[in-house]
Structure 1
Amino acid sequence: MSWFILIFSGALEAVWAAALHRTSQARGRRRIAPGLLFLVSLMASTAGLTIAMQSIPTGTAYAVWVGVGVVLTSAYAIVTKVERPTAARLLLLGGIAACVVGLKVVA
């Protein structure tokens, strides 16, 4: 169950990163919704990391949390055309994803 919570928390990291980006693009009242999404997903993400770290070693949990967040945030940026899907970027993101899976296998 801890691994599921950790992966979900990493996905929420991507949500708050995307919401933070949207907040910087919006003006006036249009900033409220992404700002609230940022705050809620940030709190839920770190709470999930805290719960997962009770049974998963700290270094492993943090690396997986960040790795999942990085890969999903980058995938979102590529899909929304904020970043270009270069071969090098995709290869390196695949390497991060492989390392996250590797940490699960050896933990």
Structure 2
Amino acid sequence: MAWIYLILAGIFECGWAIGLKYADGWTKVVPSVLTVIAMAASFWLLSTAMKTIPVGTAYAVWTGIGTVGVAILGMILFGESHDIMRILCLLLIVTGIVGLKVFSQA
């Protein structure tokens, strides 16, 4: 169950990172409120996952999911670069995340 919490925490991290863009410096109320809710959910889920998953593994997976997710959403939502080298680098991050899960004791 801890790994499910951790994956959900990473998804909420993507939500709040993208939410920061839409909140426009906290000047838009609805995106700002949704961003704060996503932040709280992400941190709560991360802290719950860390009860059984080692802190280094949990944090690396959480940030990795956030990094890859936000990069992909940036490409889709904001037309950011999607050149092959950028995609290959994201695949390296995914490989690291999978490796941490495979070799984790939790």
Q: Aligning the two structures, in what range does the TM-score lie when normalised by the shorter sequence? A: over 0.9
Check if 1:89 corresponds to 2:86.
yes
> Mind listing any 5+ residue stretches in structure 2 that lack a counterpart?
none
Q: Which runs of 4+ in 1 moved over 6 A?
A: none
Amino acid at match of 1:59: G
* Equivalences for residues 42-81 of structure 1 within 5 A: 42-81=39-78
Identity across matched positions, percent: 37
Distance 1:35 1:56, change over 3 A: same
Amino acid at match of 1:18: I
Separation of aligned partners in 1, 2:26 and 2:87? 29
Deviation at 1:82, TM superposition (A): 3.6
Q: 2:78 aligns to what SS in structure 1?
A: coil
RMSD: 1.3
Deviation at 1:16, TM superposition (A): 0.2
Amino acid at match of 1:8: L
Report the TM-score, using the length of structure 2 for normalisation.
Answer: 0.93
Deviation at 1:57, TM superposition (A): 0.2
Deviation at 1:88, TM superposition (A): 1.0
Separation of aligned partners in 2, 1:13 and 1:82? 20
Separation of aligned partners in 2, 1:96 and 1:76? 16
Report the TM-score, using the length of structure 1 for normalisation.
Answer: 0.93
Deviation at 1:26, TM superposition (A): 8.2
Separation of aligned partners in 1, 2:48 and 2:16? 19
> Mind listing any 5+ residue stretches in structure 1 that lack a counterpart?
none
Matched length: 104
Could you say which residue in structure 2 is the equivalent of 1:12?
Answer: 12
